[in-house]
Amino acid sequence: MWLPWMEYAAVLAVVTLLTIPMGQWLARCFTSEGHTWLERLSYRALGVNPAERMGWQRYGAALVLSNAAMMLLGYFVLRMQAQLPLNPLAIAAQAPDLAFNTAASFITNTNWQAYAGENSLSNATQMAAITFLMFAGATTGVAAGAGFVRGLARSSSQDIGNYWVDYVRVFWRVLLPLSFVMALVYVWQGMPQTLHTEAWATTLEGTRQELLMGPVASFESIKHLGTNGGGFFSMNAAHPFENPTPLTNVLHIFSMLLIPAGLTYAFGSMLLRRRQGWVLFAACMVMFVGFLSLVFVAEQNGSGLLARAGADQQWSPTQPGGNMEGKELRFGIVDTALFVTTTTAATTGSVNAMHDSLTPLGSITPLAQMMLNCVFGGDGVGLINLIQYAVLTVFLAGMMIGRTPEFLGKKIEVREIKLVMLSVLAHPASILGFTALAVLWPDAAASLNNRGPHGFSEILYAYASGTANNGSAFAGLNANTPFFNTTIGLAMIAGRFLTLLPLLAMAGSLAAKATVPAGPGTFPTATPLFMGLLVFVVLVVGGLTFLPALALGPIVEQLQMLVGHLYA
């Protein structure tokens, strides 16, 4: 009984230990004065001046325009796939709506896939479009995190750094070397890394079977380190080529949490407030453990409707052996629950089981974490989203004591709160707005494999995943239609930029303010009390926003399951 919890404790202890060296590495990357020869060469190739100081407007414009250019390049490659080399299976180009969805997905660090990778993409496209955009999206997120933290750290300054310097440094110093080393480990563990498209094997029955392959190890390394999550194969991390051993499974988990957790330590180091960084880390960990407990217990109990041994048996509240539907026997319920929690906490979207097969209660964990979008979160943006709630927390605390709130020595005034609320409201507006549109759209129901509340959950999950830039899915929804490709693509773009840009503006506003010394009425934010209050505010704001939608989906489905109600 205690073995699963001991495994969870060991994994999270290792994550905590890795947070320190990763955070130190990131802090040095963000604050270093010099440039390597590779970085100087990159600046010349890009035609940028590394000495330029950028305000948040210039920083944000460089981020958005460069991402738009890379998205267009990815779209072009996807549309020209049939004319590219390394395509011996003659796979056709993606349709315009699917190519838009795919390009938007990977540049926004979402990696939602409305296609099966092994059947829809050639090896050339997997490298030139998908892997390229995975590096681009992840590097953008970490660079944005660097600019945001730098804005909080500065006093009476009009700039938050240089976007191109942050981008180039994150790429050359962090993501590329980490991905290279991890890819070698994955090859050692049995992942393919080849330009060959297929191999033939003779099965035990004596038949010939075609095995599709490609540069999988390099794909998998940036997929998890960059909190991307797209699958080289449609089965994603449940496929033995993407996740061949128990070691690769736990390395996937460590990779997903490595940079988001490390950024909390880097935040504390850059502001010379390491206790503040640990408070943010602890808040994420408390929420992570709570959601992990929910999905593990729910899946271990399973469905009472499946607990009957025969027609004469009484309904039981638990299912012997737990809910193993949609799960790999290699990983079981324990490792699946940990992976489900990790992949949606870090907004990665990689899956080693089918989330559509989770129990209704268990499915609340991935849905809720995507809706909150700050339980560690994706590379860079997760920390930004968490600090947005920290600012909201000190604002509420200031209202309770009748004092102008302060955070990190800066007065939080009307402008900052307006920008925070723009970001806070943009996230649910996208999720709930597109979900409502899909429910009312005449042809959307044809994409559902389930009726009733579970069908609603499939739609809700799709837009929560897209807006949160997660990318995982309830597999029961056929999203490869012009309507879903277009609307989910728009949700991914909205979730990335309509939440990020207001918070960059807030960082620029705080950078321009002078730091004020703490006074007797200053609410301390580097304490366990603030950590608890921060978790409370995150859960209350998320609950008030999304509870009605969850009540229409997994909650009512769980209640109906308890009374034995089924949908034909």
- 355-370 tens-digit pLDDT: 888 999 999 999 999 9
**Model confidence pLDDT, tens digit, residues 325-366:** 889 888 999 999 999 999 999 999 899 999 888 999 999 999
Distances in Å between the Cα of 64 and the Cα atoms of 16, 69, 435, 493 are 33, 9, 26, 10
* Element holding 201 (H helix, E strand): strand 198-202
Query: 193 and 183 in contact (C-beta within 8 Å)?
Result: yes
- At residue 308 the predicted structure's pLDDT band, cuts being 50, 70 and 90, is low
251 inside domain: yes
Residue 95: inside a domain: yes
Is 140 within the bounds of a domain? yes
- The residues with which 208 forms a beta bridge, in sequence order, are 202
Can you tell me the mean pLDDT for 447-459?
88
Report DSSP state, residue 473: -
248 domain-assigned: yes
Predicted pLDDT of residue 552: 92
How far lies 257's CA from each of 22, 59, 534, in Å?
A: 11, 26, 20
Mean pLDDT, residues 244-264 taken together: 96
Instruction: Give the whole-angstrom CA distance, residue 165 versus residue 169.
Output: 6
Question: What angle separates helix 216-225 from helix 132-153, to the nearest 10 degrees?
Answer: 20
Q: What per-residue string of b and e applies to 361-384 under the rule 16 or more CB within 10 Å gives b?
A: bbbbbbbbbbbbbbbbbbbbbbbb
Two tokens at 317? 């509240």
d(CA 438, CA 433): 9
Query: Across all residues in the chain, what is the average pLDDT?
Result: 91
Rama region for 326: left / alpha / beta (φ>0; ψ in -120 to 50; rest): left
Beta-strand ranges (E) seen in 333-450 are 406-407, 410-411
CA distance linking residue 90 with residue 59, whole number of Å: 42
CB 304 within 8 A of CB 314: no
pLDDT in tens, 140-154: 999 999 999 999 999
Question: Which pair of structure tokens corresponds to residue 386?
Answer: 């968490």
User: For the segment 202-217, what is each residue's pLDDT rounded down to a tens digit?
Assistant: 888 888 888 888 899 9
CA atoms within 13 A on the CB side of 207: 4
Q: Closest Cα partner for 22 from 225, 259, 250? A: 259
448 Cα distance to chain centroid: 24
Residue 181: CB atoms within 10 A of its CB come to 12
- Comparing C-alpha atoms, which of 278, 382, 290, 292 is closest to residue 342? 292
**Of the listed ranges 114-118, 134-138, 236-240, 278-282, the one predicted with least confidence:** 114-118
Classify the phi-psi angles of 47: left when phi > 0, otherwise alpha if psi is within -120 to 50, otherwise beta. left
The torsion angles phi and psi of 314, rounded to 5 degrees, stand at: -80, 155
Span 426-455, average pLDDT? 91
* pLDDT value at residue 178: 96
pLDDT band at 306 (very low <50, low <70, confident <90, very high): low
What is the band of 84 on the pLDDT scale with cuts at 50, 70, 90? confident
Encoded tokens for 264: 């909390």
1 CB burial (10 A radius; 0-12, 13-18, 19+) = exposed
Identify the residue with better confidence: 399 or 544. Answer: 544
- 243 close to 235: Cβ distance less than 8 angstroms: no
Q: How far is CA 120 from its chain centroid?
A: 23
For residue 103, pLDDT over 90 is answered with yes
Q: What is the pLDDT of residue 211?
A: 84
- 544 pLDDT more than 60: yes
**Domain of residue 239, residue span:** 3-200+208-275
Q: Does the structure show a pLDDT above 50 at 312?
A: no
Q: Is residue 525 part of a domain?
A: no
Residue 315: pLDDT band with limits 50, 70, 90: low
Distance from the first to the final alpha carbon of the chain: 36
What token pair was written down for 307? 């607990």
Let me know if residue 121 belongs to a domain: yes
CA–CA gap between residue 561 and residue 305 (Å, rounded): 7
Cβ burial of 85 (10 Å; 0-12, 13-18, 19+) is exposed
* Alpha-carbon separation of residue 341 from 139, 376, 430, 439 (angstroms): 23, 11, 23, 27
Q: Single out the residue of 1, 567, 560, 568 nearest to residue 315, CA to CA.
A: 560
Contact 292, 262 (CB under 8 A): no
Which two tokens mark 553? 């989906």
* Rg (alpha carbons) of the chain, rounded to whole number: 23
Across 398-429, b (16+ Cβ under 10 Å) vs e yields: beeeeeebbbbbbebeeebbebbebbbebbbe
DSSP state of 129: I
Contact 457, 429 (CB under 8 A): no
Number of folded domains that form the chain: 1
User: Where is mean pLDDT largest: 291-295, 409-413, 562-566?
Assistant: 291-295
Q: For residues 417 and 390, what is the distance between their CA atoms, to the nearest angstrom?
A: 11
pLDDT of 210? 80
pLDDT score for 202: 85
Does residue 78 lie within any of the structural domains?
Answer: yes
Whole-number pLDDT of residue 389: 96
Q: Whole-model pTM?
A: 0.94
- Percent of the chain at pLDDT > 90 equals 69
Q: Which residue intervals of 189-331 are DSSP H helices? A: 216-225, 246-270, 274-301
Q: Quick: pLDDT tens for 382-433.
A: 999 999 999 999 998 888 776 778 898 888 989 999 999 999 999 999 999 9
Q: Is the pLDDT of residue 102 over 80?
A: yes
d(CA 41, CA 34): 13
Cβ contact 464:433 at 8 Å: no
Whose tokens are 């992976």? That residue is 339
Q: Which range among 48-57, 176-185, 299-308 shows the weakest confidence by mean pLDDT?
A: 299-308
3-state secondary structure 354-373: CHHHCCHHHHHHHHHHHHHC
Q: What is the pLDDT of residue 518?
A: 76
| Torsion over CA: 18, 21, 24, 26 (sign) | negative
Residue whose C-alpha is closest to residue 219's, from 209, 207, 228, 208: 228
The pLDDT score that the predictor gives to residue 310 is 47
Q: What is the pLDDT of residues 15-36, one digit of tens each?
A: 999 999 999 999 999 999 889 9
